[in-house]
């Protein structure tokens, strides 16, 4: 059965080490998803998501412009990030969503682990499910290879990016 991604109660975010000493966090505001699931048989669910690269926000306009450039996402040439689930495993509230992530026309498998809550009825009679998921990718596998060596011997931008998804879906 179809469910609708609720962007006002959801967030797609990421974090990556900066100068090997702290994390920079960001998020995407242009996110769309098609969800087909039966909450009693979550393992048969299918999820397809699309993220508008130009909607990246790290709270620094200069850094956001650099991330949109050909050094990183190349938003003009590759305006969308895509995700399509290939399998979902559920063990109580624990869930593992496995799928293919495409950035810059490079597709790699990704596993997101976390929890699922619900279904629950909202005050207007709609059924809702909540997902809290996290995973990691190696950015260079997607062609996001720009970096700068530091005087101390490290690098400016970490190679591992942590993905975080807090999402609600509403039954149509």
Strand, helix or coil at 10?
A: coil
Percent of the chain with pLDDT over 70: 99
For residue 1, pLDDT beyond 90: no
Residue 47 structure tokens: 């999820």
For residue 52, pLDDT beyond 90: yes
| Mean pLDDT to the nearest integer, 44-65 | 95
How much is the pLDDT for 19? 76
For residue 150, pLDDT beyond 80: no
pLDDT confidence tier of residue 21, bands split at 50, 70 and 90: confident
> Which one has a higher pLDDT value, 145 or 32?
32
How much is the pLDDT for 39? 83
DSSP 93-155: TEEEEEEEEEETTEEEEEEEEEEEEEEEE-TTS-EEEEEEEEEEEEGGGGT-----B-TTSSB
138 C-beta neighbours (distance < 10 Å), count: 12
How much is the pLDDT for 162? 94
| Mean pLDDT to the nearest integer, 92-110 | 95
Beta bridge partners of 144: none
> Which one has a higher pLDDT value, 129 or 144?
129
Catalogue all structural domains in the chain, each as residue range(s) with its CATH number: 2-171 (2.40.128.110)
The Cα-based distances of 54 to 3, 5, 139 in angstroms read: 26, 20, 18
| Mean pLDDT to the nearest integer, 88-99 | 92
Say if pTM beats, i.e. exceeds, 0.95.
no
């Amino acid at each position: 059965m179809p469910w609708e991604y609720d962007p006002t109660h959801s967030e797609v975010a990421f974090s990556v080490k900066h100068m090997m000493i702290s994390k920079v966090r960001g998020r995407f505001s242009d996110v769309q998803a098609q969800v087909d699931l039966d909450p009693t048989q979550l393992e048969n669910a299918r999820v397809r998501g699309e993220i508008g690269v130009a909607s990246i926000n790290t709270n620094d306009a200069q850094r956001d412009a650099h991330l949109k450039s050909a050094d990183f996402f190349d938003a003009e040439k590759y305006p969308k990030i895509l995700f399509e689930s290939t399998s979902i495993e559920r063990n109580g509230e624990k869930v593992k969503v496995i799928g293919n992530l495409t950035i810059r026309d490079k597709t790699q498998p990704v596993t997101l682990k976390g929890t699922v809550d619900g279904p629950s009825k909202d005050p207007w009679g709609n059924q809702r499910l909540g997902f809290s998921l996290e995973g990691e990718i190696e950015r260079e596998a997607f062609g996001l290879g720009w970096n700068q060596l530091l005087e101390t011997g490290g690098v400016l931008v970490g190679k591992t990016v942590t993905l975080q998804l807090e999402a609600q879906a509403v039954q149509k």
